[in-house]
Amino acid sequence: MLFRQHGRIVNDTWVGSAGGHFEENEGNDPKACVLRELKEELGISENGIRDQSLRYVTLRRVNGEIRQNYYFFAELDNEASDHIASTEGISRWFTLSELSALEMPYTAKYVMEHYLDIGRRTKDMYVGVADGKQVDFTKLPEYE
């Protein structure tokens, strides 16, 4: 987990790891965005991860703005996981049982709870919509 410090929007709280905003050339490519953020913030290249997948997309309306978050999960190669240092805050490993006690951004907390209860046992993708009281998740099937 990363304790993000001095961020423009997310500040002084635990977040999954790297994160940020799309660059102009990444408009419809969240994978390119997350790979760039991993490299910029944690020094991890695409070669340092495996089984990367988009697992959650959340929507939250705040002050007239719709905030859309993409949550990717991946496995780190052992070499990459031994040397993680962030330019955005403090990186630290936690056991899964410790995660629920951490202070996190609104939708991130619900994603983590859902992942621990359901998501880690599947390969499914979920969409979560925040209503101010909770985030409701729906499995997003792929079809033609």
Q: What is the pLDDT of residues 30-70, one digit of tens each?
A: 889 888 888 888 888 888 888 889 999 999 998 899 989 89
pLDDT score, position 81: 61
What is the pairing mode between strands 126-130 and 135-139?
antiparallel
The two three-digit tokens of residue 35, written as one number? 């790979």
Domain 2-139: give its CATH code: 3.90.79.10
Collapsed DSSP state (helix, strand, coil) of residue 91: strand
Nearest CA to 20 out of 109, 90, 113, 87 is that of 87
Count of beta carbons in the 10 Å neighbourhood of residue 134 = 12
- Among 5-14, 56-65, 88-97, the range of highest mean pLDDT: 56-65
Contact predicate 55/126, CB 8 Å: yes
